[in-house]
Amino acid sequence: MAYLFTSESVSEGHPDKIADQISDALIDNFLAWDEDARVAIETLVTTGQVVLAGEVKSKIYLDVQKITRSVIEKIGYTKSAYMFEANSCGVLSAIHEQSADINQGVDRKTRQDQGAGDQGIMFGYANNETDNYMPLALDLSHRLLYELAALRRENKEITYLRPDAKSQVTLEYSDDHKPLRIDTIVISTQHDDFDEENTMLAKITEDIKNILIPRVKAQLKPELQALFNDDIKFHVNPTGKFVIGGPHGDTGLTGRKIIVDTYGGKGAHGGGAFSGKDPSKVDRSAAYATRHIAKNLVAAGVADEILVQISYAIGVKDPMGIYVNTYGTSKVNLSDSEIATKITELFDMTPYGIETRLGLRNPMYAETAAYGHMGRTPKTVTKTFENSNGETKTMEIELFTWEKLDYIDKVKAAFGI
């Protein structure tokens, strides 16, 4: 019997995502000047105020207020009417030094013996619904908001958009777990006040259907375009009005959108957030590593769908264990536990091994903090950083390294594919 499945996304202007982006911008700036920095920073945003808290062990001093304001400005909070504006909001820093008790469990005489920065369980997931091996409902939810932000910045076809927005996509699946059609699309977008409230909702709904949706459809393969149909139920700004938004409408905190950041409810999540943590924290690095494993195994043809779990103890370099679930879609004559054993032979899952393999000591994190950490396109960008002395540093940085399909040949050889 057919069933429905839903995923959601939030825009870069959503309060929780503002907090994530500030935390990750600070991570990048510390790593740019000190690749051995240990950083865990949480951010809170509310009306006219940002609060930074957390722990840092680094040889560099940074102007965290300046970095914070630059992030807010880039997102688009540049008008006093938003009640949260880059140049006028307060920025309070309560950052202090990392606990020596934690640090002694992470740092070792040799970097190869580095222990995990925390205990926990992490999951990686991939399926073959999309070209980026991501669940389709989440992929569409991200695309809708990414394109909505592009329309806001262009300020041509739609001129009333404000930064805060959310999306949700519900798909109908067949018994054999194939997407049949889009059942429902929800878009809630912050907007300027209208002179005529009676025409406001109708205008926004019309623009979403006739401008946003065609732009998103044009990015998709024909078979995915066919999922759009005349019977889609649209809920656009269901409350009727969304003028008050961003941190003025809702407090934002780092790490509150972990399902948006990962797989939209598919697979599983270990519970740890990513943003604001340097890669010694396996909450982040091991989640990227398990995604890298799952994606390469699906791309190599081991299975149509794979979930990989790994677990760690704080201060211990070797994982407690690796678990694999192929949901009955395996294409190889091996049990899931035997697949897990081969993974341990192919991939070094110590914290140092993960950091080295994926280049995670580079300042690559600001770009992860909106529109999902997984399913993104690997690319190299040029980034410039400034320290508190006014010195600048320009670096070539490879982004989303965990999305590279660089282990396909090794996986095929190991599994005899």
Binding residue numbers for ATP:
14, 164-166, 241-242, 250, 256-257, 273, 277
Per the annotation, binding residues for K(+) are 42
Per the annotation, binding residues are 14, 16, 42, 55, 98, 164-166, 241-242, 250, 256-257, 273, 277, 281
CA dihedral 387, 389, 390, 396 (to 10 degrees): -30
For residue 31, give the nearest of 400, 393, 404, 403 by alpha carbon. 393
186: its two tokens: 């929800």
CA dihedral 293, 296, 299, 304 (to 10 degrees): -10
For residue 202, give the nearest of 165, 241, 248, 256 by alpha carbon. 241
Q: Is 172 exposed, middle or buried (0-12, 13-18, 19+ CB in 10 A)?
A: middle
SS3 for the chain is CCEEEEEEEECCCCHHHHHHHHHHHHHHHHHHHCCCCEEEEEEEEECCEEEEEEEEECCCCCCHHHHHHHHHHHHCCCCHHHCCCCCCCEEEEEEEECCHHHHHHHCCCCHHHCCECCCEEEEEEEECCCCCCCCHHHHHHHHHHHHHHHHHHHCCCCCCEEEEEEEEEEEEECCCCCEEEEEEEEEEEEECCCCCHHHHHHHHHHHHHHHHHHHHHCCCCHHHHCCCCCCCEEEECCCCCCCCCHHHHCCEECCCCHHHHCCCCCCCCCCCCCCCECCCCHHHHHHHHHHHHHHHHHHHCCECEEEEEEEECECCCCCCEEEEECCCCECCCCCHHHHHHHHHHHCCCCHHHHHHHHCCCCCCCHHHCCCCCCCCCCEEEEEEEECCCCCEEEEEEEECHHHCCCCHHHHHHHHCC
The residues with which 4 forms a beta bridge, in sequence order, are 172
Per the annotation, binding residues for Mg(2+) are 16
Per the annotation, binding residues for L-methionine are 55, 98, 250, 281
Residues 263 and 270: their CA atoms lie apart, in Å, by: 12
